[in-house]
Amino acid sequence: MSSRLEGSTLVTGGAGGIGRAIVQALAVRGERVIIGDFDAAAAKILADSLGPKVLPLALDVTDAAAVDSLLDRIPAEFLPLHTLVNNAGHDVGGRTRFDQGSADDWASIIDTNLKGMMRVTRSVIPAMVKRDAGDIVNITSVSAVRMVPDMAAYTASKAGAKAFTEMLRADLAETGLRITEIQPGLTRTDIIVKRYRGDREAERAYFEQYRMALDPADVARSVLFALDQPPQMQIAEILLLPVNRW
């Protein structure tokens, strides 16, 4: 725990949903946390509520220039980054048959959920490799391993993120870095209402059909569990499901 206090954790998509819960859980433990989010105002509001050890950082993971300059925009007291939690993602336009959905929606999902994850990781990981220490935690989804109709782009993005995580673990096997994948099942966040472009009735009906969902704090506890293991041990992957799913 003491070594973790010397640097910080960057959580992408950290201003809402699962990311927000992870930020809060780390902040409660007294750790330095950077909230990376394209919604800079929401990131600042959350950071202000958690104290001076939490830093808001405007970050669109699909913006190459913003990601490439990431480390240069972090104050010295929040360096080095000892942990990256790749959480940013969306499913806007999802739950639509592939031929009936928008090609722009499908491309945006891939750009954020997969390419954004890879880009941010590439930006921060060389310094971790140089120190021979660090944690990369990738939030994927049950959709990485379970195929569901009408979710082609989202499933492809999460299956790709899973493959990327496994290959990253293989590439870095001779280093001290730990690579973890968390695969949440249905979680009660705003990803669903955003999928339906603000349609609250569609969101309500979606959650009601499944009756039960995880809470973002459930996912945050799993992230902390992985990070709290001794340095010679990595939690390769955790699949989280509501108890009424299989």
pLDDT for position 142: 98
Domains of the chain with bracketed CATH? 3-239 (3.40.50.720)
Q: Distance between CA 114 and CA 122 in Å, rounded?
A: 12
Name the E strands within the chain.
Answer: 8-12, 32-37, 54-58, 81-86, 134-139, 177-184, 237-240
Tokens of 232: 């010679």
Annotated catalytic residues are 154
Task: Return the H-helix or E-strand segment holding 105.
Answer: helix 103-110
Kindly give, in sequence order, each residue whose CB lies less than 8 Å from that of residue 76, ignoring residues fewer than 6 positions away: none
CB-based burial, 182-197: b 16+ in 10 Å, e otherwise: bbbbbbbbebbbbbbe
pLDDT for position 42: 98
pLDDT for position 2: 41
Q: Which of 209, 218, 44, 235 is nearest to 135 (CA)?
A: 235
DSSP one-letter string for 2-39: TGGGGSEEEEETTTSHHHHHHHHHHHHTT-EEEEEES-
- The list of the chain residues with pLDDT below 50 reads 1-2
Tokens 């902040």: give the residue. Answer: 27
pLDDT for position 3: 59
Q: Distance between CA 212 and CA 205 in Å, rounded?
A: 12
pLDDT for position 6: 82
Mean of the per-residue pLDDT values of the chain = 96
Q: Distance between CA 211 and CA 244 in Å, rounded?
A: 8
Tokens 């391993």: give the residue. Answer: 145
